[in-house]
Amino acid sequence: MKLKIIPIILIIFFSIIFIIFFKGLQKTSIYTPDENFEKNVPSFTAKVIKTGVENSSEQLFSGDQFYLMNIWASWCAPCRAEHNFLMKLKVNENLKIIGLNYKDKEKNALNFLKELKNPYDKILVDGDGTIAIDWGAYGVPESFLIHNKKIIKKIIGPIDENLYLDIERLIK
């Protein structure tokens, strides 16, 4: 009798373990942040590339204007991929594009812009990455659409055709 109970207990035990693991695999553990939200623009000061003049967030994001804060770097391949879309957005009069150069050498950043052209109205330097962290950035590129000193859309990763059209729709 004992010999028959042991296999039954083992089968029940492994069945329960299988069900637990199977249910656990069906749940996703990937964190996906909310990209559509309204949050105040973080307060910061940063130097403008080339000139070294300090600007504050209060000076940069003033008035009833749309702004696109784009965090980028010359060493970032996806930043290169999104650059054409930033150039297309630059012609829109309702939008000012602010670049935040992330953990980059000034010389490399300027060469990047010389090669691909400059879509930015102003470029700020974030040499140690602390400003990007205050914005809640996970890496580069990331962009934040701002209106009335509020972040209205967060874009994680490079801007593509769909995101470009979405930004165009929002700023009209």
The yes-or-no verdict on residue 35 having pLDDT over 60 is: no
User: Which pLDDT band, with edges at 50, 70 and 90, does 153 fall under?
Assistant: very high
* 71 CB-contact burial (10 Å; exposed 0-12 / middle 13-18 / buried 19+): buried
The yes-or-no verdict on residue 166 having pLDDT over 80 is: yes
The answer to whether 43 touches 51, Cβ cutoff 8 Å, is: no
Q: Tell me what pLDDT residue 56 has.
A: 93
The yes-or-no verdict on residue 127 having pLDDT over 60 is: yes
**Mean pLDDT across the chain, nearest whole number?**
90
The answer to whether 85 touches 159, Cβ cutoff 8 Å, is: yes
The yes-or-no verdict on residue 157 having pLDDT over 80 is: yes
Percent of the chain with pLDDT over 90: 70
Q: Tell me what pLDDT residue 28 has.
A: 65
At 77-124, the pLDDT tens digits run: 999 999 999 999 999 999 999 999 999 999 999 999 999 999 999 999
Domain range summary for the chain, segments of one domain joined by +: 39-171
pTM over 0.85: no
Topology (CATH level 3) of domain 39-171: Glutaredoxin (3.40.30)
Q: Tell me what pLDDT residue 48 has.
A: 95
How far, CA to CA in Å, does 87 sit from each of 1, 84, 97, 125, 156?
79, 5, 10, 20, 18
How far, CA to CA in Å, does 31 sit from each of 28, 38, 48, 124?
8, 19, 34, 29
